Amino acid sequence: MQHTIMAVFDTARHAQIAVDDLLVCDIPSESIHQYRLAMGADPDAAIRPENEFHRPSGAWTWLINDHPPPAERRAQQEALYQESRQRNEPVVVTIDNSTLTNARIIKILGDHAPLEVRGNKEGWTHADTSFAQENKMDPSEFDPQTPVEMTEYH
Q: Is residue 141 part of a domain?
A: no
Q: Is residue 42 part of a domain?
A: yes
Q: What is the pLDDT of residue 48?
A: 92
Q: Is residue 140 part of a domain?
A: no
Plot region of 26 (φ>0 → left; ψ -120 to 50 → alpha; else → beta): left
Q: Is residue 150 part of a domain?
A: no
pLDDT digit string (tens) for the chain, length 154 residues: 457 889 999 999 999 999 999 998 888 888 999 999 988 888 999 999 999 999 888 777 777 878 888 888 899 999 999 999 998 889 999 988 765 677 778 888 877 878 888 775 444 444 444 344 344 334 444 444 544 444 454 4
Number of domains in the chain: 1
| Cα separation, 25 vs 65, whole angstroms | 10
Q: What is the pLDDT of residue 37?
A: 92
Task: Please give the residue range of the domain that contains residue 37.
Answer: 2-131
Taking the model in full, what pTM does it have? Answer: 0.67
Q: What is the pLDDT of residue 148?
A: 44
| Cα separation, 107 vs 7, whole angstroms | 12
Q: What is the pLDDT of residue 103?
A: 77
The answer to whether 120 touches 6, Cβ cutoff 8 Å, is: yes
Q: What is the pLDDT of residue 104?
A: 79
